[in-house]
Amino acid sequence: MGGSVHTAVATAVLVVIPFLIDQIHGDDNHGMRCCDLFEGRWVFDDSYPLYNSTDCPFIERPFDCQKNGRPDKLYLKYRRQPTSCNLPRFNGRDFLWRFRRKSIMFVGDSLSLNQWQSLTCMLHTTVPHVTYSLARSNSLSTFKFLVYNVTVKFSRKPFLVDIVNETNGRALVLDSIQSGERWKGIDTLIFSTWHWWLHTDRKQPWDFIKLANHTYKDMDRLVAFKRGLRTWAIWVDSNVDPNKTNVFFQGVSPDHDNAKIWGEMNSRGCWRQQRPLFGSIYPGGPHPAEAVVAKVLRKMAYPVLLLNTNNHIVPVEDRWTSFQLWLRRVTRSRLQPLVSCWSY
């Protein structure tokens, strides 16, 4: 639950960047402000958390660590601090005002669900007396703040591409996205996928893979991930209106099942871990899936913004190119003062 709060805050801040340019205080460089929002570290902040889970009546039980018996609360008191600038503190009321009459949708796996759950709780606890509606139907959850006409949705699609029930079993179809209709017309889309591509045996939700009318019992999961991600990229380039919709992609989450990576020789993964990893680079190094994401995004016509806080997914130059293209589109003439310089 604590991690979901932190990552949801990061996403929320990035989502409203076009509206907050003048509130981001960065280092001066020849009279211009520069800030790589993805380069930073976790810092202790005693004013956190931004909300108490007991104040969120609709939080799902798996996401309420305190109610589930976690004894410590230190993990709730960390926030992400960019190296070269200070971001404004999350303000739920201001967020709702800026996003009035707009829609936000998280699409993907449990990481997206985590973010959707945390963001809706953060917003609700800011304006607890504002009427809201919450509807869950199959793989779609919709939360709406009626006064502001702000809608925050979650579309469960762990692979982004389709799983189809056929007579001989469940097919993971790497070149098909039939459920993308519900993604159209949304003002802000935040996608994520990776974790489920690794599941095998009973945890694997498909029986075989289909690609270009060929059937495979299995294949290299990284290869399958790359092909599925290409299908998603084609869908975005073909169906998203760049004048209406901002698109984000959440970076690949680092592996955390080997505590030796961060120097805990006697620990089992994240068991009993109470603090985030400090420093600006994850000590485990890059994951091969991160390179796949970077390569696919670079080839897209649509400037998708990669939410990369691992600091090793793509080189600084590539990261800034993607960020500049995206920010130029959504901020128009306000781009230049913030990101025209990216040398360090």
**Which residue range is the domain that position 149 belongs to?**
93-334
DSSP state of 99: T
The verdict on residue 45 lying in a domain is: no
Which three-class secondary structure string do you get for 16-49?
CHHHHHHHCEEEEECCEEECCCCCEEEEECCCCC
Give the count of domains, the chain: 1
- 327 has pLDDT over 80: no
Q: Which two tokens stand for residue 227?
A: 């092909």
Q: Is 247 helix (H, G, I), strand (E, B) or coil?
A: strand
The verdict on residue 291 lying in a domain is: yes
The verdict on residue 74 lying in a domain is: no
Cα–Cα distance list, 290 to 2, 83, 164, 197, 248 (Å): 24, 22, 27, 13, 15
Q: Please count the CA atoms within 13 angstroms of the CA of 121 that sit on its side-chain side.
A: 27
* Maximal C-alpha separation, the chain: 65
CATH code of the domain covering residue 102: 3.40.50
| Mean pLDDT score, 7-15 | 53
The verdict on residue 317 lying in a domain is: yes
The verdict on residue 342 lying in a domain is: no
Question: Is pLDDT larger for residue 109 or for residue 13?
Answer: 109
The verdict on residue 66 lying in a domain is: no
pTM given for the model: 0.82
Backbone angles phi, psi at 19, to 5 degrees: -95, -10
Asked whether the beta carbons of 135 and 141 are under 8 A apart, the reply is yes
Pair type for strands 140-145 and 150-156: antiparallel
The verdict on residue 86 lying in a domain is: no
Asked whether the beta carbons of 30 and 261 are under 8 A apart, the reply is no
* pLDDT tens-digit series, residues 163-210: 999 999 999 999 999 989 999 999 999 999 998 999 998 899 999 999
Question: Is pLDDT larger for residue 259 or for residue 27?
Answer: 259
Residue 39: pLDDT band (50, 70, 90) is confident
Q: Which two tokens stand for residue 267?
A: 């620990």
pLDDT in the model for residue 88 = 81
